[in-house]
Each structure stands twice: as C-alpha cells, then as structure tokens.
Amino acid sequence: MLIGIYASITNGAFDISVKDIIKTLLRIDPDSNYDLVIFEFRLPRIIIGIVVGFGIGLAGAVLQGVVRNPLADPGILGINAGAGASVVLFMFFFSGQIQGADWLSVMLMPLFGWVGGIIAVLLIFIFAWERGTIDPQRFILVGIAISAGLSALTLYVSLKMNPQDFEMATVWLTGSICSANWMYVVTALPWILVLTPIIYYKSKVLDLFQLHEMSVTGLGVSVNKERMLLLLCSVGIISACISVSGSISFLGLIAPHLARRLVGLKHLHVLPVSGLIGVCMVVIGDLIGKTVFSPAELPVGIVISIIGVPYFIFLMFKSRKERI
C-alpha cells in the first residue's frame, strides 16, 4: 500500500522527487506548480482511493459474512447497480442545479446512492425470502437478476442525458477516481468514519452468522435485527463510495478472500485486513491505469475487473469441486 501511494504521488506526467514532496507538504519554500499537482490532483485522488478501497473491501467482508456465501459481492448482489442507478438519476434530474459547498449539496449524492442501495437490498430480500429464511444460492441468483434490471434502467437514463453528462456518467459507471477532489473526500469520509466502528463492534455477530440460523437464534441473537443493521451499514458505505468513484466491480469479492487466507476466519481480523487489501487494489490499480496506458487513462474499475473476472471463475470452480 505504501509503495503504491509513493509511486502515485511521485510519478505521472509531471514527476516530483520525494524531497520536493516533503518540502511542499511542510510548506518549506513552497512552489505553486508543486502545490497544484500535489494538493489539487494527486493527493485527493490517493485519499479517495484509500477511502473507496477500504470501504468496499470492508463492506464485501460484511456481505459475505451476513449471507454465508463466499461469492457475495456488492456488484453481484445488485447493490452497486441500485446505488449506481440512483446516482445516475440524481445526475440526470439535478445536473447543474445544486450549487455551493453546504452540507446538503455535499451529502445529496451518497444519500441518493444509499436509497438506491437500500431499494436493491429490499427487492433481493423480497424475492429471496422463502419459508422464513434466506437461501444463499437463491440470494445470489436474485441479486444477479436485480442487478441486470437496474443496470438496464441506468443505461436507459444515461442515454437520455445530454452529451456532456452522458460522457461523465459513462466514465463514472466504469469506476474511476480520475476526477477526485476534496469535495469528494468530504462526501464519502463521514460515512466511513461513522459506520465502520459499528460494523467492527458487530464482528462477533458476523462470526456467529457462519453457523446455522437456528443455532444463532438459540444463542440469543436476534438474527433479522442484526442482519438488517449490518446490511444497512454496508449499503451506506458502498453507496458513499460509489457516489465518488462509480461502480468498482469484484473489489468486494476479492479483498475478503485474500484477507481470510492471511488472517483466518475471525471477522475481528478479517474486516480491517480486507479493508487494507481493498486500499492496495484501488491505489495500485489506479496507478496502473494512469501510467501503463499513458497518455490514455484506464479507469481503475476496468483494471480491477481484468483481475476480478478470472478470479471469480476460479472461485466458482473451487466451490463446485468442494460440493462434489
């Protein structure tokens, strides 16, 4: 993670030495050119990468724990699509109408995304609920169907936009942090700071969710209440991240798997490690996208998807062999 941050802040179309970066940050003989590159372009982008990577990695671990399915992912379950459709609707109806830096305008996009994510989760619960329980396989299949429907709605709305807004929405939907600024940091960071401690406090409940639902109930845990609380927290984090970076697929799938391989199954350890792995993936993926394909720039969502698709297929075959 530190190597990725170092490379991102020093390399680019305008290379800066570590000495000049330290002098700029400490305000020793400040240079206006260095100030512009570091404070307006590179530093906000790195911080957004850290926030988004940590948030989606953490939320992916929560979702896999809640539904007891290692293939659960915000993108596969339709949460990304729900939040994305809601944010695109916000862009379509309110583009250019929200001005200023007051808290209302700052928080509207993630609030719209949160509502869209909640609607997607409610639809999944309605269709996946059977005989008082949720079957993990049915949950995944319903999530894929909901995701396809909401993605179609997003495409339809984006085609109705004017050319400038359509281009912005298209880049955003692929998952990009190239337009990151300090306003985006202020938009997403409060959600992470408020909801992460709640999730971490409930880490033991996530451990219990790995048992059969009847066993969890027998231990005195209010299953539906705890499940809804954890889902609401994870949807809030995912929506806040999506509102500033767009939909980054497979990040919430890969990070928890790598975390469990590193630190075992206890969510007390899995949650923070999954978040840190998410940070590594976003920061390094963004670095690859903006340097390897220079002067063109590949969105970080596409870079992670290139890694994520074969990894998802590998997990599918692995799960199939284990069942056999």
Return the biggest CA–CA distance within the chain: 69
pLDDT for position 24: 85
Number of H helices, E strands in the chain: 15, 2
C-alpha–C-alpha distance, residues 89 and 173, integer Å: 13
pTM confidence score: 0.86
Can the peptide bond before residue 310 be classed as cis, meaning omega within 30 degrees of 0? no
Instruction: Specify which residues 129 forms β-bridges with.
Output: 134
pLDDT over threshold 60, residue 319: yes
C-alpha–C-alpha distance, residues 53 and 75, integer Å: 14
45-54, 157-166, 282-291: range with highest mean pLDDT: 45-54
Q: Do the beta carbons of residue 300 and residue 286 sit within 8 Å?
A: yes
C-alpha–C-alpha distance, residues 248 and 118, integer Å: 18
* CB proximity list for 261: less than 8 A, separation 6 or greater: none
Q: What domains sit in the chain, N to C, each tagged with a CATH number?
A: 2-323 (1.10.3470.10)
For residue range 209-262, list pLDDT tens digits in order: 877 767 777 777 777 788 888 888 988 898 888 888 888 888 988 899 999 989
For residue range 268-315, list pLDDT tens digits in order: 999 999 999 999 999 999 998 888 877 778 888 888 888 877 877 777
What integer best gives the mean pLDDT of the chain?
Answer: 83
User: What mean pLDDT comes out for the span 117-128?
Assistant: 84
Distances (CA, A) of 14 to 36, 42, 45, 284: 11, 11, 15, 18
6-20, 137-151, 277-291: range with highest mean pLDDT: 277-291
User: What mean pLDDT comes out for the span 43-53?
Assistant: 93
User: What mean pLDDT comes out for the span 101-124?
Assistant: 73
Quote the distance between the C-alpha of residue 198 and its chain's center: 18
Instruction: Specify which residues 133 forms β-bridges with.
Output: 130
Q: Do the beta carbons of residue 192 and residue 52 sit within 8 Å?
A: no
C-alpha–C-alpha distance, residues 55 and 37, integer Å: 26
**Residue 218 CB neighbour total at 10 angstroms:** 10
Q: Do the beta carbons of residue 57 and residue 267 sit within 8 Å?
A: no
